């Protein structure tokens, strides 16, 4: 079956996309969605800033990273599908900032926490 939409997962503080949202991503994929997730700076498998894990002195580069990653993923894999943000904890705040920067992008959002 062809995919029905794209879900971009934005994890929370000290989380990581590869483990914390694995079952959620599998659930969405089983229901026809293409799922993308990124580890924020200093989280999961990303590089830590100044060697400090989960250290985010400025949230704006994290928001920029998410926008760039999700836009590139959507363009490559699902340009014509509706896109949604799925976030939890700190990811909710990051997603709100993404939405404020990209008001015209449409789609939907799911915030938890």
The span from the CA of 106 to the CA of 103, in Å, is: 7
* Cβ–Cβ < 8 Å for 67, 33: no
Enumerate domains of the chain plus CATH numbers.
Answer: 5-112 (3.40.50.1820)
Tokens representing 37 are: 């997730």
Give the global pTM. Answer: 0.77
**Average pLDDT over every residue of 31-55:** 75
How far lies 5's CA from each of 45, 87, 108, in Å? Answer: 26, 16, 10
Tokens representing 68 are: 């760039």
**Average pLDDT over every residue of 48-62:** 75
Taking the CA atoms of 98, 96, 10 and 7 in sequence, report the sign of the dihedral they define. Answer: negative
**Average pLDDT over every residue of 42-68:** 76
Q: What is the pLDDT of residue 67?
A: 94
Q: What is the pLDDT of residue 22?
A: 84
pLDDT in tens, 4-23: 999 998 877 766 556 667 88
């Amino acid at each position: 079956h062809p995919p029905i939409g794209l879900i971009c997962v934005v994890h929370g503080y000290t989380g990581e996309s590869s483990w914390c949202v694995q079952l959620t991503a599998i659930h969405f994929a089983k229901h026809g969605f293409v799922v993308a997730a990124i580890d924020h700076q200093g989280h999961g498998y990303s590089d830590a800033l100044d060697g400090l894990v989960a250290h985010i002195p400025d949230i704006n580069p994290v928001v920029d990273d998410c926008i760039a990653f999700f836009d590139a993923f959507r363009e490559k894999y699902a340009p014509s599908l509706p896109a949604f943000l799925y976030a939890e904890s700190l990811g909710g705040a990051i997603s709100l900032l993404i939405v404020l920067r990209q008001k015209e992008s449409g789609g939907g959002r799911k915030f938890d926490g």
